[in-house]
């Protein structure tokens, strides 16, 4: 299978080295399929192809796919200072550039409760939902609701769902496609990718969506966050626009955040070889040299923006962190999004700590949209170019591939 061919109705955008009779591919958009091994219905962009059957990346990553008898190379890549040990050698550099990273939560409903009178579920908002005005629904609702019947939505704030934020009408259930969705809704401007949403359908026309406020607002990676969120999704789909870094540093950090392995704290990790290769491949116009990227990585390490951690890779090339017993150890570059409590300067007018009416500043940031098959608008590209020049950053002032740009602005609830 080659890049550009179609699988499950989506274009193949990346092909990983084959492992025996199995080859992992990355699709341009999420697709649903049934794994031939675990028989589970999966919705993901990664799929392993074995002849006429498909494996989910979980089964592939657990080593069920054959390594083809080739064995693992024994030539070790140089570990960073302090990580030298006598454990098995890491894979070769060419393999480390092609490691496989498990997909994160695809935004599908979970914690579904069907009482017969109501259906409740939770999900984490993704960029796809915010851009398209959609909300995923479980089969328990899709099988009972009338697709043509308009629904009334109420957006609530708080664990007890007592603060009404917004009301919308005319939203409809859409059942065609890979997964059922509510379509035609408008998300509030404070909803970021990764925001946790609790939904309740009263088996008639009423749907309630609730956000759970944090005990105290935080600043995650340069963005003010007020509601419960998933750090993994926020790291993957938001990239803060930071005027303190130059163009190549920006490209390195974006590649690491978009492609790296994500732990529960939202830290992104990749082998140095994979970060080098992907930064060059994804750069627009003037591609930075590998030497320049290595220099940038060293600067980021010296400033503490990147650190070294130890992970491992299994026979199928799947990256894991922390390192797992029996797998080849691999030194990983790690980016941890800065996290701190929001202060008055961040919240400005929010002196009382209220969430419902205060205004707050949202830093300019990049939002990932390439996996949705979309391109940034000319307006977003122009805004990024203008802000990039104003910040005095060196190098091309073009918006990175696969992202759109949201300018710094005020948001109020």
pLDDT higher than threshold 50 for residue 350: no
Strands 319-320 and 306-313: antiparallel
Q: Return the DSSP state at 382.
A: H
pLDDT higher than threshold 60 for residue 64: no
Domain spans in the chain, listed from the N-terminal domain onward: 1-71, 110-216, 237-412
Residues 160-199: b if buried by 16+ CB within 10 A, e if exposed: ebeeebeebeebbbbeeeebbbbebbebeebbbbbbbbbb
Q: What does the pLDDT look like over 32-51, one tens digit per residue?
A: 788 888 777 777 778 889 88
- For residues 322-333, give the mean pLDDT: 94
DSSP 228-270: -B-HHHHHHHEEE--TTS-HHHHHHHHHHHHHSEE-TT--EEE
Residue 207: phi and psi, rounded to 5, are -130, 130
- In this structure, which CATH number among 3.40.50, 1.10.10, 3.30.1460, 2.40.330 belongs to the domain 110-216? 2.40.330
Contacts of 182 (CB under 8 A, 6+ apart): 134, 135, 136, 137, 151, 153, 171, 172, 173, 174, 207
Instruction: Indicate the range of 92-101, 108-117, 225-234, 370-379 predicted with least confidence.
Output: 370-379
Spatial separation of the C-alpha atoms in residues 397 and 247, rounded to whole Å: 8
The SS3 call for residue 320 is strand
Cα dihedral 244, 246, 251, 254 in deg (nearest 10): 0
Give the pLDDT of residue 161: 55
Q: What does the pLDDT look like over 266-300, one tens digit per residue?
A: 999 999 999 999 888 877 667 889 999 999 999 99
CA 218, chain centre distance (Å): 19
- Place 407 in a pLDDT band, splitting at 50, 70 and 90: low
Q: What does the pLDDT look like over 360-391, one tens digit per residue?
A: 444 566 776 765 666 778 888 888 777 766 65
């Amino acid at each position: 299978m080659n890049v550009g061919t179609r699988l499950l109705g989506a274009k193949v955008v990346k092909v990983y080295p084959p492992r025996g009779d199995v080859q992992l591919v990355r699709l341009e958009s999420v697709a649903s399929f049934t794994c031939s091994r675990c028989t589970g219905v999966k919705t993901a962009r990664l799929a392993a192809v074995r002849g006429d059957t498909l494996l989910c990346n979980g089964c592939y990553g657990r080593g069920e796919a054959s390594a083809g008898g080739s064995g693992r190379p024994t030539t070790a890549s140089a570990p960073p200072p302090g990580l030298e040990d006598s454990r098995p050698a890491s894979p070769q550099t060419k393999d480390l550039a092609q490691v496989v990273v498990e997909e994160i939560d695809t935004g599908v409903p979970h914690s579904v409760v069907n009482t017969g009178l109501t259906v409740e579920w939770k999900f984490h908002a993704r960029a796809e939902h915010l851009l398209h005005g959609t909300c995923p629904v479980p089969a328990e609702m899709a099988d009972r609701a009338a697709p043509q019947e308009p629904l009334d939505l109420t957006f609530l704030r708080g664990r007890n769902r007592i603060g009404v934020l917004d009301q919308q009408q005319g939203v409809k259930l859409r059942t065609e496609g890979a997964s059922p969705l509510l379509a035609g809704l408008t998300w509030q401007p404070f909803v970021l990718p990764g925001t946790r949403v609790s939904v309740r359908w009263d088996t008639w026309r009423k749907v309630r969506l609730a956000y759970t406020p944090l005990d105290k607002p935080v600043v995650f990676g340069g963005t003010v966050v007020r509601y419960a969120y998933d750090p993994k999704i926020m790291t993957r789909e938001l990239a803060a626009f930071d005027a303190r870094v130059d163009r190549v540093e920006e490209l390195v950090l974006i590649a690491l955040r978009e492609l790296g392995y994500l732990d529960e704290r939202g830290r992104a990790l990749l082998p140095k070889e994979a970060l080098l290769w992907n930064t060059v491949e994804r750069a627009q116009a003037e591609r930075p040299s590998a030497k320049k990227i290595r220099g940038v990585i060293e600067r980021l390490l010296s400033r503490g923006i990147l650190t070294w951690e130890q992970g491992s890779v299994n026979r199928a090339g799947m990256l894991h962190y922390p390192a797992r017993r029996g797998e080849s150890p691999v030194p990983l570059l790690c980016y941890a999004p800065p996290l701190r409590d929001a202060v008055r300067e961040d919240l400005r007018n929010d002196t009382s700590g209220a969430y419902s009416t205060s205004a707050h500043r949202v830093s300019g940031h990049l939002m990932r949209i390439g996996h949705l098959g979309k391109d940034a608008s000319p307006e977003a590209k122009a805004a990024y170019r203008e802000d990039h020049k104003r910040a005095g950053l060196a190098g091309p002032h073009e918006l990175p591939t696969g992202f759109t740009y949201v300018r710094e602005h005020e948001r109020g609830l």
